[in-house]
Amino acid sequence: MVLFSLASGWAEALAPLPLLATAHAVREFAIASAIFTSTDFWAGMAAGLVAAFVASVVARKRIRAARHEADDARAAARQLDYERDLAQQALVQKLEQERELSKEKMQFESQLTEFEKYASFTQLALGAAHEVNNPLLGILSHLELEMRSASGDHRTEVEQCIEGARRISSAVHGLLDYARPGPLALSQVSLPQLVTDALRFVEHQPLFRGIQLQNCVPLDLPEITADANQLSQILMNLLLNAAQATPSGGSITVLAEKMRFENVIELRIRDTGTGIPEDIQTHVFEPFFTTKRGRGTGLGLSITRNYVRRHGGEIHLNSFPGHGTTVCVSLPIYQAHQLEPVSTEVIA
Ligand SMILES: Nc1ncnc2c1ncn2[C@@H]1O[C@H](COP(=O)(O)OP(=O)(O)O)[C@@H](O)[C@H]1O
Ligand SMILES: [Mg+2]
């Protein structure tokens, strides 16, 4: 009703306007007023509001559900990443294990080849030694007889023949020692004493002239159960090699110590000589390998290693070309089968 009276007021105010325009405006107003006042409008509004509210609730729920889904998807992706990382780690570990295995296989195969090589070498050596040794002894005794009556140039020639024959003889004995070493004659050996004796023996040899010899073996070192003769030979071979590589003015030092927590003594022979070129370091223990053309048999280190291994020990060397070489021999203080004769196997 209020709206209606307002409309009448408006109609009066608009009286001066042209009649048609006024009628149109009044009609428009009346329609609008009628809309706002109708119950359908408010019902529609209410329904719209309810629909909007319901829609917003539904939308919020959907958004929440979508967020959950996104969170789940992210967690699943993280889980997948984690599992992929685990799988990658497992793969890397497997690859490393396989690499280790193939390395061990290669090492084993090369050891096998080495053993096979030694075995055939042994057969060859034994055969050759038997063939050479007897006639050689005959030749040597004949030359020594001839030496008594020889003089001048002839004497020099005979001397050279004797020297050559002796070299052959020592090589043959080296072969025999290597191929068929006797049983270990075990006894309690004092390493400090053994080293002192060996150094005393070599210090006046021409080869050691001008080289400083140092004995750094502690006197309180425990005695070891070993074959004294073979230990002396080990020491001699290593001292000779050191002297042959060390020029005058250099030094050779013998050191030894008991390994902590182990019943093992490590003996080291260190020289300040030429050193060994890296590419041949892996070959020096092979029988007949020598860089001393015409002067070396190439058996010193292989016999030495053979002796060391027969004692249950190990030998290795560190060499720096131009600076020197250190040979390390580790020997157990006790032998597994102490004082029992060791079988005469061909190769240790
Ligand atoms: N202390 C050392 N310094 C340098 N080279 C060495 C040393 N010991 C061994 N060698 C090398 O190892 C080779 C093999 O030694 P070895 O088996 O005793 O045979 P040989 O002394 O008869 O040559 C030698 O020819 C030498 O090249
Ligand atoms: Mg030698």
> Which tokens belong to 170?
């020592």
> Which tokens belong to 119?
């075995």
Q: Is 348 helix (H, G, I), strand (E, B) or coil?
A: coil
Do 140 and 211 sit in the same domain of this protein? no
- Cβ(297) – ligand 1 distance below 6 Å: yes
Give residue 133's domain range.
Answer: 114-176
Is there a domain that residue 342 lies in? no
Q: Report pLDDT for 23.
A: 52
- Cβ(29) – ligand 1 distance below 6 Å: no
Point out the ligand nearest to the CA of residue 282. 1
Do 150 and 289 sit in the same domain of this protein? no
8 C-beta neighbours (distance < 10 Å), count: 10
Do 189 and 298 sit in the same domain of this protein? yes
Sign of CA dihedral 37, 39, 44, 50: positive
Q: What is the mean pLDDT of residues 27-52?
A: 73
Do 242 and 132 sit in the same domain of this protein? no
Is there a domain that residue 307 lies in? yes
Q: What is the CATH number of the domain that holds 270?
A: 3.30.565.10
254 pLDDT higher than 90: yes
Is there a domain that residue 47 lies in? no
175 C-beta neighbours (distance < 10 Å), count: 24
Name 259's Cβ contacts closer than 8 Å, sequence gap at least 6: 265, 266, 330
Q: Whose CA is nearest to atom 9 of ligand 1?
A: 241
Point out the ligand nearest to the CA of residue 322. 1
Query: What is the DSSP annotation of 11-29?
Result: HHHTTTS-HHHHHHHHHHH
Do 189 and 318 sit in the same domain of this protein? yes
pTM, 2 dp: 0.58
Q: Report which ligand 1 atom has the smallest distance to the Cα of 324.
A: 3
Cα 2 to its chain centre, rounded Å, is 104
Do 263 and 316 sit in the same domain of this protein? yes
Is there a domain that residue 338 lies in? no
> Which residues on adjacent β-strands are paired with residue 316?
328
Q: Whose CA is nearest to atom 1 of ligand 1?
A: 242
Do 200 and 264 sit in the same domain of this protein? yes
> Which tokens belong to 109?
């195969």
Range with the largest mean pLDDT of 28-32, 97-101, 165-169, 183-187? 97-101
Is there a domain that residue 69 lies in? no
Domain's final residue, options 142, 158, 176: 176
Q: Any alpha helices (H) in 217-275, and if so which ranges?
A: 228-245
Q: Report pLDDT for 26.
A: 52
Distance 284 CA to ligand 1 centre (A): 6
Distance 253 CA to ligand 1 centre (A): 17
Is there a domain that residue 312 lies in? yes
- Cβ(267) – ligand 1 distance below 6 Å: no
Distance 290 CA to ligand 1 centre (A): 6
Distance 214 CA to ligand 1 centre (A): 20
Q: What is the mean pLDDT of residues 156-181?
A: 81
Query: Percentage of the chain surpassing pLDDT 90?
Result: 52
Distance 221 CA to ligand 1 centre (A): 28
40-49 tens-digit pLDDT = 778 888 888 8
Q: Report which ligand 1 atom has the smallest distance to the Cα of 299.
A: 17
Q: Report pLDDT for 346.
A: 36
> Which tokens belong to 38?
């109708």
Name 124's Cβ contacts closer than 8 Å, sequence gap at least 6: none
**Over the range 176-203, which residues count as b (16 or more CB within 10 Å of their CB) and which as e?**
bbbbebeebebeebbbbebbeebbeebe
Predicted confidence band of residue 120 (pLDDT cuts 50, 70, 90): confident
Instruction: Please provide the average confidence, as pLDDT, over all residues in the chain.
Output: 84
Do 209 and 158 sit in the same domain of this protein? no
Q: Report pLDDT for 343.
A: 41
Domains in the chain, number = 3
Q: Which residue has the tokens 């996104």?
A: 70
Cα 32 to its chain centre, rounded Å, is 96
Q: Are 274 and 296 in contact (CB under 8 A)?
A: no
Point out the ligand nearest to the CA of residue 290. 1
Domain's final residue, options 176, 197, 214: 176
Name 221's Cβ contacts closer than 8 Å, sequence gap at least 6: 190, 191, 192, 256, 257, 258, 265
Do 203 and 301 sit in the same domain of this protein? yes
Do 164 and 199 sit in the same domain of this protein? no
Do 144 and 171 sit in the same domain of this protein? yes
Q: Whose CA is nearest to atom 27 of ligand 1?
A: 291
Which of 207, 235, 241 has most ligand 1 atoms within 8 Å of its beta carbon, as the pocket-test mutant? 241
206-251 tens-digit pLDDT = 899 999 999 999 999 999 999 998 999 899 999 999 999 999 999 9
The number of CA neighbours under 13 Å toward the Cβ of 256 is: 26
Q: Could you give the angle at the alpha carbon of 10 between the alpha carbons of 8 and 16, nearest 5°?
A: 110
Query: What is the DSSP annotation of 118-158?
Result: HHHHHHHHHHHHHHHHHHHHHHHHHHHHHHHH--HHHHHHH
83 pLDDT higher than 60: yes
Do 161 and 193 sit in the same domain of this protein? no
- Cβ(245) – ligand 1 distance below 6 Å: yes
Q: What is the mean pLDDT of residues 172-188?
A: 78
Is there a domain that residue 164 lies in? yes
Distance 325 CA to ligand 2 centre (A): 13
Q: Report pLDDT for 150.
A: 87
Is there a domain that residue 118 lies in? yes
